[in-house]
């Protein structure tokens, strides 16, 4: 057997294993287990804009940067939220993880079946859930939003809520979305910003305004999180229901 044929067979075998339902179920369960073990090592505090408190949480769209998903995902699983993942293998794994955490998940992509994913998101939200989208996902460019969330907000007349988290201590991965990984025993702020009605945007393509809103909110929370070191530490997450 030639070396090229052997490599091809090994590649097919690896693909058959990694794409199997059993493997994906095992891996997603393991990741959720590790997330739940890691959360008690953090001091998590919720922070929201006063205008958000009067809002029906199931009648809003939550926009966040793709690189901030890591801590947001386990926090909001019980909020009755529909979230979108892409159609890749990683998107399928993420869909399983998010489902285990409590989300309703729809699949879609900005490049493949993107509009169908937006329509599925709209139908799911109309059943009584909020909607959440990584506005610069799934493949970037980073910190430049796509118009899907603005289209949905206008169609349903729901506000767009900027969502982010900040940490007192963290690593930044060298990825297109600059993923933030919170260090053990760091203090974290999970923050919901001021709701912006669809009329705040000049149209579905006004992603520049959305970028400015989300970037300003993220920078504010990052600065607040750096000052969290002055707060007394108590182990375990503090997440109001």
Q: Supply the pLDDT for residue 63.
A: 97
* Cis preceding linkage at 138, omega within 30: yes
- Average per-residue pLDDT for the chain: 89
pLDDT at 19 over 90: no
Within 13 Å of residue 157, how many CA atoms lie on the same side as its CB? 0
Instruction: Give the pLDDT band (50/70/90) at residue 239.
Output: very low
* Whole-angstrom distance, CA of residue 137 vs CA of residue 146: 8
Average pLDDT value for residue range 84-96: 93
CA distance 60 to 48: 14
The HSE-up count of residue 17 (CA atoms within 13 Å, CB side) is: 6
Give 108's contacts (C-beta < 8 A, 6+ positions apart). 84, 85, 86, 87, 114, 116, 117, 118, 120, 121
107 beta partners: 85
Fold of the domain built from segment(s) 3-230: Glycerol-3-phosphate (1)-acyltransferase (3.40.1130)
pLDDT at site 231: 56
Residue in the block written with tokens 């505090």? 45
CA distance linking residue 1 with residue 18, whole number of Å: 24
For the chain, the structural domain boundaries read 3-230
238 pLDDT higher than 50: no
How far apart CA 145 and CA 31 sit, in angstroms, is 28
Quickly state the pLDDT bin for 241 (edges 50, 70, 90).
Answer: very low
Write the DSSP assignment of 27-77 as a string of letters: HHHHHHHHHHHHGGGSEEEEEE-GGGTTS-TTS-EEEE-GGGHHHHHHHST
Closest to 121 measured CA to CA, from 92, 155, 163, 93: 155
Q: Once rounded to an integer, what is the mean pLDDT over residues 139-146?
A: 93
């Amino acid at each position: 057997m030639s070396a090229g044929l052997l490599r091809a067979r090994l590649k097919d075998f690896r693909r058959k294993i990694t794409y199997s339902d059993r493997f994906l179920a095992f891996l997603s369960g393991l990741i959720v287990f590790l997330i739940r073990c890691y959360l008690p090592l953090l001091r998590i505090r919720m922070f929201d804009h006063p205008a958000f408190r009067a809002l029906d949480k199931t009648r809003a769209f939550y926009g966040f940067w793709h690189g901030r998903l890591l801590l947001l995902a386990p926090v909001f699983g019980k909020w009755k939220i529909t979230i979108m993942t892409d159609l890749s293998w990683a998107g399928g794994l993420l869909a399983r993880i998010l489902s285990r955490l409590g989300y309703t998940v729809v699949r879609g992509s900005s490049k493949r079946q993107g509009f169908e994913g937006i329509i599925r998101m709209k139908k799911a939200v109309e059943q009584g859930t909020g909607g959440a989208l990584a506005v610069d996902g799934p493949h970037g460019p980073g910190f430049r939003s796509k118009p899907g969330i603005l289209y949905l907000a206008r169609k349903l007349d729901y506000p767009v809520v900027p969502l982010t988290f900040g940490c007192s201590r963290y690593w930044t991965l060298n990825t297109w979305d600059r993923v933030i990984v919170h260090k053990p025993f760091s203090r974290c702020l999970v923050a919901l910003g001021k709701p912006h009605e669809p009329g705040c945007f000049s149209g579905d393509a006004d992603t520049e305004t959305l970028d400015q809103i989300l970037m300003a909110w993220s920078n504010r929370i990052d600065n607040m999180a750096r000052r969290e070191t002055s707060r007394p530490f108590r182990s375990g997450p503090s997440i109001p229901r």
